[in-house]
Amino acid sequence: MKKSKIFVLAVLFLFVIAFVFGYFVYDSLFPLAKQIESPHPDTVLSYSAKDSNNTAYMIDIYTFYDFILNAKPTRIMSVNDYPDVRPYYEVCVSATDNRFYRYFLYSSNGKDYIEIPYVGVYEIQNFKINDLFR
């Protein structure tokens, strides 16, 4: 009886170790994206917005900034210059810190995303892309 309890505890312990090890492997292979870098709207010198067909749009930069502040990092990796999903919207921002920022917004599987090439993909929370591009 005592040997069976030790065996059950050993199996349980090994299961916990395997689970923790599996999580760390998963986390290292598919890390969460870093927080989005974005200039504050008051420091923006210029910006433009267009869709995947090169149709230009006027957007409110403050609403776009809210999109970014409410975006949640995902484990989806960005490995291309442009998203694989169409249609998409591209927002380019030039700021006073002499940096140029480029964001892509698109919908996939009923969710809205912001993608920064080679940085990460972020799920948009509390907003819909249609709120920005009307």
Tell me whether residue 36 is in a domain. no
Range of the domain at 21: 1-30
- pLDDT given at position 6: 81
Same-domain check for residues 18 and 68: no
Same-domain check for residues 12 and 68: no
- pLDDT given at position 113: 95
- pLDDT given at position 18: 72
- pLDDT given at position 87: 93
Same-domain check for residues 18 and 69: no
Same-domain check for residues 101 and 78: yes
Same-domain check for residues 86 and 20: no
Say how many domains are in the chain.
2
- pLDDT given at position 26: 66
Same-domain check for residues 122 and 88: yes
- CA pair distance 116, 88, nearest whole angstrom: 12
Q: Which residue has the tokens 């312990």?
A: 13
Same-domain check for residues 85 and 127: yes
Q: How many CB atoms lie within 10 A of CB 121?
A: 20
- pLDDT given at position 11: 73
Same-domain check for residues 64 and 25: no
Q: How far is CA 70 from CA 16, 66, 91, 126, 128, in A?
A: 34, 6, 17, 7, 11
> DSSP string spanning the chain?
-HHHHHHHHHHHHHHHHHHHHHHHHHHHHSPPPPPPP---GGGEEEEEEEETT--EE---HHHHHHHHHTEEE-S----SSS-SSSSEEEEEEEETTS-EEEEEEEEETTEEEEEETTTEEEEE-S--HHHH--
Same-domain check for residues 3 and 65: no
Residue ranges of the chain whose pLDDT lies below 70: 1, 23-31, 134
Same-domain check for residues 75 and 95: yes
